[in-house]
Amino acid sequence: MRKISHFNINDFNYSLPDGRIAKHPAAQRDASKLLLYINDQISEDKFGNIGEHLPRGSLLVFNNTRVIRARLLFQKTTGAAIEVFCLEPVSPEEYQQSFSSTREVEWKCIIGNLKKWKTGAITMHFDFKGNQYELTAEKVSPEGEAWRIRFKWNHSDLTFGEVIEGAGHIPLPPYLNRKDEAEDYYRYQTIYATVKGSVAAPTAGLHFTDEVFSRLREKRIDKAEITLHVGAGTFKPVRSGDIAEHEMHCEHYFVTAETIEKLIRYQEKIIAVGTTSVRTLESLYWLGVRMLEGKSASGDCFTEQWEYDKHDNDVSLKDSFNSILGFMKDQNISILHASTKIMILPSYKFMVIKGMITNFHQPKSTLLLLIAAWTGNKWVDIYKYAMENDFRFLSYGDSCLLL
């Protein structure tokens, strides 16, 4: 076990002019630029050629979460605009049950312009498939910096998933500083997104196309899927100078037994697509270690922020993941539902991945810290190269392959 290293967040800063932030996606998904960091060397190519740079026989792990229309914009009779940003379901607590509910549901939400919403319910009218409906939101109780909100609608022929499909807006990252547009509905979404629940896209996957997948198959590069529902906390800046004082948000993930078995088979060739996949895979390892030690989940998350500081890391990936498979067999479940707060810092030793595909991240962010954990101080050279060679940054920007 190690002591948590204390880093200064200002050491993970760089200058990012607004003009370098991609405000819209590239015309073609796979035509975006690809920075290559392989064997400590930096070069570039087009993303469509990524299969030429991946080790033959690799396993790519994708996050198949689907972004929901989480932003609900209400207007009070006084004219005050109230934004209700849906974070995660509370009742029913399970995502699919909430989305399929035809009765009232409750969600944990962030409220914009809260001071203008003191009491009472707020209502909006929305269109779904040519019909008009009414949605009502009511505050139930505070949940930390968020609120528990009860939603009701006036027709039981609609599910809540259909309600937010008709009433909501795509939750674009705040740094894009614009309203969502028609193209965002399908471009701020991976082509393989299937499981609804995210309020932010796993953006490394935005570059993949059917043509890219076809080329990967020719290279005998396999794929597996996990699900991690990305929360709004992914954009939460590190405000404390000492990184160790930052509190990570909790995110829910789902992994099938089939995927875990495939991870064991490919254990020396696992490449994560996106930081969300990295966090899920590394959290999964520590969950297996916890199970081997006979420990149950603690607090509101299965994997704590500094979980890796509480265990030795001499457990093999195979032993860790087999312990999870044993638990799933005992519980007679085929899909593991867990959660994580893990925060990966430059002192972290990666236990699962052998590489990652990722976009460029904000200065002084937890995601940039994760990149620094993988590349060491080379992240400075990588980002400098990207800045000097006209790469586009952040969610709709270009990509890196870091091996």
Q: Are residues 236 and 149 in the same domain?
A: no
Question: How high is the mean pLDDT of the chain?
Answer: 93
Instruction: Give me the mean pLDDT over the 111-131 stretch.
Output: 93
- Residues of the domain holding 31: 9-66+187-402
What is the rounded CA–CA span in Å between residue 279 and residue 165? 28
The CATH code of the domain that includes 245 is: 3.40.1780.10
Q: What is the DSSP string of 183-248?
A: THHHHSS-TT--EEEESS--GGGGG--HHHHHHHHHTT-EEEEEEE---GGGG----SSBGGGPPP
Query: In this structure, what DSSP letter does residue 8 have?
Result: B
Q: Are residues 202 and 214 in the same domain?
A: yes
Residue 1 has what pLDDT?
A: 41
Report yes or no on 179 lying in a domain: no
Token reading at 350: 């990666």
Query: Phi, psi at residue 372, to the nearest 5°?
Result: -65, -30
Q: Are residues 62 and 74 in the same domain?
A: no
Q: Are residues 221 and 77 in the same domain?
A: no
Q: Are residues 284 and 331 in the same domain?
A: yes
Q: Are residues 161 and 195 in the same domain?
A: no
Query: Phi, psi at residue 182, to the nearest 5°?
Result: -60, -40
Percent share of the chain, pLDDT over 90: 83
Report yes or no on 4 lying in a domain: no
Instruction: Give me the mean pLDDT over the 374-380 stretch.
Output: 96
Per the CB < 8 A criterion, the answer to whether 288 and 321 are in contact is yes
Q: Are residues 263 and 388 in the same domain?
A: yes
Report yes or no on 3 lying in a domain: no
Residue 388 has pLDDT above 60, yes or no: yes
Residue 97 has pLDDT above 50, yes or no: yes
Maximum mean pLDDT: which of 43-47, 90-94, 250-254: 43-47
Per the CB < 8 A criterion, the answer to whether 326 and 287 are in contact is no
Instruction: Give me the mean pLDDT over the 110-114 stretch.
Output: 94
Instruction: Give me the mean pLDDT over the 209-223 stretch.
Output: 97
Q: Are residues 141 and 267 in the same domain?
A: no
